[in-house]
Each structure stands twice: as C-alpha cells, then as structure tokens.
Amino acid sequence: MFLGRRGEKLLVGKSCRVVRCRAGGKPVEGGDPLALEPNRMREEMLNSLDIAKRPEDTRVVVAMSGGVDSSVVAGLLARQGYDVVGVTLQLYDHGEATHRKGACCAGQDIHDARRVAAMLGIPHYVLDYEERFKNAVMEPFANAYRQGETPVPCIACNQSVKFVDLLAVAQDLGADVLATGHYVQSVLGEDGLRHLKRPVDADRDQTYFLFATTREQLDFLRFPLGGMTKPEVRALAREFGLEIADKHDSQDICFVPQGKYTDIIRKMHPEALAGGEIVHMDGRVLGRHEGIINYTIGQRKGLGVAAAEPLYVVKLDHKSGRVIVGPREALKTHTVKLRDVNWLGAGAIEAAAAGNGLPVQAKVRSTRAPQEGVLFVSEGEVFVTLLTGEYGISPGQACVFYADEGATTEVLGGGFIAEAVPQALVA
C-alpha cells in the first residue's frame, strides 16, 4: 500500500485494476487491452501516442524521476488532454548521493517530482523499490567489478526495475502506455511493430542504454522527447512554469556518491579488496595491488607501478587476482563475443547475419560514435567484428548495433560483451 499525492490509498497488484477515484468518487477502470493491436489501430484514428482512443480516454503513466525531461513529458501529455498519472520510484537512499548534483530517484528529486505533479494537477505516487533496485542493479554491479568486468548499471536498471517492474505497475494502474523522458524514438512501422530509433538530438542519444528493450516492452512504451532537442525541452519547462527548468541532468551511475564506485563495492563486499600481483604481459611482476575492483580495462593512471614506458591495464584476471598491464597497442580489439543478445531487426538474427554476416554500425561505449562492423553468428554464438578496431574494450560493456550511419537510424539490437580479447593476447 502506498499513499498518493492527495493521500489516496493505492494498492498495486496483478488483480488490482481500480487505482484511484476522480473528484466525483467514481473509480477509474483499466484500459482496453485491444487498443494496441496493429490491425485495429489502422482501422481507427490514432491519437499522438498511436492509440485508437481520444486523449482524455487514454491513460498514460509517466515515469517521473524529478528531472527536467520526465517533468516535461508529464506536462506535454497533460496539456494534450491525456489522463496522466505520475509515478516515481524511490530506488536508493545513500546520504550524500541523495543531495549531490546529478543524482536521481531519491531525496530532493522525489520532492521535485511531487511539486511538478502538483503544479500540473495530476495524481502522483511514490513507490519504494529500494530492495528491488539493490538486488537487480547494485548487487550485479558490484559482482561484475569483482569479476573484472565493467558493468553498465543504467542498462540493468532499464532491463529490470523500469521496463519490467514499473511497466507492470503501469499496467496495474490501467494505463494504455508508459511514457518516459528518454531521448530515443519509437516509431510505428508499416509492419504494425514499433521500431527503436536514434533521437533527433544526437548529443542526448540514449539508445545505447535501451538496446535490451524487448518488442513487447516497446509496444507499451512511449518516448515523447525523441523528436526534440534538450534546449527545446528546457524551453517547454519554462513555458510550463516548472521550477526545475534549469536543473542539472542526472548522471549515469546515479547511486554512486561522489562518483566513487569503489566505495559502494567496498561497503557491499569488503572481501573484494583482496590484493594481488600487477604483472606485465611479458610475465614480469611489477608490483602489487589492493583489489582488482580499483582497476578497469584501458586504465593508465594510478596503476601504482613505475615503468620506463606508459602502461595500461590490458586484462583483469579475477581467478588469479592479477592485474595484467602492457603498452597501449595491446589494448586494440577487433572482435567481441556477445551474451544476452536482444535482436530487434526483421526476422531471426541467424538469418539476418547469415553468409558473410550483416554489415552494421556498432557502438561499444555510450560516449563513442558507432563504427563499421559485421555481425555474425557462429555455432549459436553472436559476434561482432569492428573493422577499424577499438582500444580498451571490457567484458560487461554493451555492444549495440545500428542499421546504418543515419542520424536517426534504427537500433537493430545489442548484447553484453562476454569476451573482448585484444589482438596482442590472441594465441
């Protein structure tokens, strides 16, 4: 049971369809489950969310983090006449992290979301998902570093808490769709399916973090900001009279105080600080370290060893506890093996990547532009070959593939990097 903005009791469960009462006291029932069927949609006039209903008859749950983007989404949809319900998930509460600039989903941000909802005149609910977030995002994050990987917690959060748990809550609230403030585009194709595409604002492109979104989830999700730029969004926030119009954007790892991820791991798993050897790739032992969690592939500074040439972390061997270092050239990787692949392209991935493979634009870091690559499947495993190669690729990162170089091209899918062996370490 949770308390809404006006103090209503809210029960969230699979069997709960009545979620709140309007001023007249009549319950608001759930939406029409047939509203998203492609054939039916094409027979009727669609609203701006591609639903065959009038806006006032279309319930939209908006995931409100307390930031500018999700607040503007709520404002836009409310202005268009939709039945908007704001939901904020409290995901963590780690003291200093809740008050620093760039944090989200805790502390001040929850209060900001409440104030925005009050100004817009929409119902707003705060749901406590701290335990779920810890188990689904924070624990895997810490364990990945213990295994010598470099995880991307935002992807894990979208995969679990946001697009599974929150999506289920939205459905329990009788929503027709769940809307978020992500900068991606979801376009209804001639095939009746929704296609994930890059946004108009390339500087805000978040498709890398949403590659794992399934087709079923895309059917229920809407991203109203995909066709807008950030300055346009802030201008709308000012037009709506929102106090958070100039608020700082949230950062990737929202739950890490002061950006020190090792502090979180140290607190959750003190044993992760077990020491070991720092070894050159030629076999020389150069020194010792105080836990492989303090290192990432490609790291140069803070290695704790003296050498005549610049050295970089080439590999983290969690089994032996060794940090292996070498020259920058040893970091170059051309082929990566993927796990947990989510395919959004047409047909089966095996057919699409048959023969000499499928030419794609591949992105292995959120901050780097995609590069030419080839997607292929061998003995049931998915691989991507990067034609020009990439330096410092680490297991745990994502590799996302796009159809072409177009500014708003389609996302074909992606996967997590299971193996990324630098060319210098190939036997």
Q: Is 367 exposed, middle or buried (0-12, 13-18, 19+ CB in 10 A)?
A: exposed
Is 254 a residue of the active site? Answer: yes
CB 277 within 8 A of CB 288: yes
The end-to-end CA distance of the chain, in Å, is: 58
Q: Taking Cα atoms as reference points, which of 129, 135, 171, 172 lies closest to residue 156?
A: 135
C-alpha count within 13 angstroms, C-beta hemisphere, residue 121: 9
Is 16 a residue of the active site? Answer: no
Catalytic residue among 104, 105, 154, 254: 254
Cβ-based neighbour number of residue 78 at 10 Å: 20
Q: Taking Cα atoms as reference points, which of 400, 413, 405 lies closest to residue 345?
A: 413
Which one-letter amino acid corresponds to residue 154? Answer: C
Which string of DSSP letters, residue by residue, matches 112-141? HHHHHHHHHT--EEEEE-HHHHIIIIIHHH
Which string of DSSP letters, residue by residue, matches 63-107? E--SSHHHHHHHHHHHHTT-EEEEEEEE----GGGGTSTT--SST
Q: How far apart are CA 417 and CA 405, in angstroms?
A: 22
Catalytic residue among 104, 105, 157, 399: 157
Cβ-based neighbour number of residue 322 at 10 Å: 18
Q: How far apart are CA 354 and CA 358, in angstroms?
A: 7
Any idea which residues carry the catalytic annotation? 157, 254
